[in-house]
């Protein structure tokens, strides 16, 4: 049985910071969902246009397949992925769930105020994602529902605390 952590939230919520920390602590295989986007998606976001569902489906399916390949080999993983809608998370869960055998896809949602995230984005340099897309990310976000396997983390905490909380929930004992 393997665990597949998806650190989710809007752009600038701290996904990379927290997911890298979880990966370092657990030794689990790490990937950035941004690396799975076709160049057309990156160019679209960089030019200030939000992605549509149609832009996101193939990308989400690739991520789901990647997690399931690792699950089939008995390997745990940690990824960053905005995973903004319930329907996107359903796609992300599907391939691992289809394997059966108690493999787990669990979401860690970095949740917090738009003001704080906008401040952090202002301070971030060298990233393709413009701060102007934050509002569309917030408008698209659907919070985790009670029946979804996941944990909500308050992104105003310092990174080490967030990593500790996430590991305690998704990888107890690590």
Ligand X SMILES: O=C(O)[C@H](O)[C@@H](O)[C@H](O)[C@H](O)CO
User: Applying CB under 6 A, which residues contact ligand ATP?
Assistant: 9, 11-17, 80, 120, 123-124, 127, 129, 155, 158-159, 162
Dist. CA 58–CA 16, nearest whole Å? 22
Q: Which is nearer to ligand X, 45 or 171 (CB)?
A: 45
CB 156 to ligand ATP: min, Å? 7
Q: Rounded to a whole number, what is the distance in angstroms from the first to the last CA of the chain?
A: 16
DSSP 125: -
Contacts of 44-50 with CB under 8 Å at 24 or more apart are 45/128, 45/129, 45/130, 45/133, 46/128, 46/129, 46/130, 48/130, 48/132, 48/133, 50/133, 50/136, 50/137, 50/140
CB 145 to ligand ATP: min, Å? 21
Q: Residue 56 binds which entry of ligand ATP, ligand X, none, with Cβ cut-offs from 5 to 8 Å by kind? A: ligand X
Which residues 126-145 are close enough to bind ligand X by CB under 6 A? 129, 137
DSSP 132: G
Binding mask 22-41 toward ligand X (x if CB under 6 A, else -) reads ------------x-------
CB 33 to ligand X: min, Å? 6
Which residues 35-74 are close enough to bind ligand X by CB under 6 A? 45, 51, 56
CB 133 to ligand X: min, Å? 7
User: What does the binding site for ligand X look like in residue numbers (CB under 6 A)?
Assistant: 11, 34, 45, 51, 56, 82, 84, 129, 137
């Amino acid at each position: 049985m393997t665990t597949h952590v998806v650190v989710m939230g809007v752009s600038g919520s701290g996904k990379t910071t927290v997911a890298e920390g979880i990966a370092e602590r657990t030794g689990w295989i790490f990937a950035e969902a941004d690396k799975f986007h076709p160049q057309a998606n990156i160019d679209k976001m960089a030019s200030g246009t939000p992605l549509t569902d149609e832009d996101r489906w193939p990308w989400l399916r690739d991520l789901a397949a990647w997690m399931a390949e690792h699950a089939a080999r008995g390997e745990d993983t940690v990824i960053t992925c905005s995973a903004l809608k319930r329907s996107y998370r359903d796609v992300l869960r599907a391939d691992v769930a289809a394997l059966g055998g108690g493999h787990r896809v669990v979401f860690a949602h970095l949740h917090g105020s738009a003001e704080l995230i906008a401040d952090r984005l202002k301070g971030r340099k060298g990233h393709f994602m413009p701060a102007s897309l934050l509002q569309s990310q917030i408008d698209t976000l659907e919070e985790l529902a009670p029946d979804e396997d996941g944990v909500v983390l308050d992104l105003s905490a310092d990174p080490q605390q967030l990593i500790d909380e996430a590991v305690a929930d998704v990888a107890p004992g690590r």
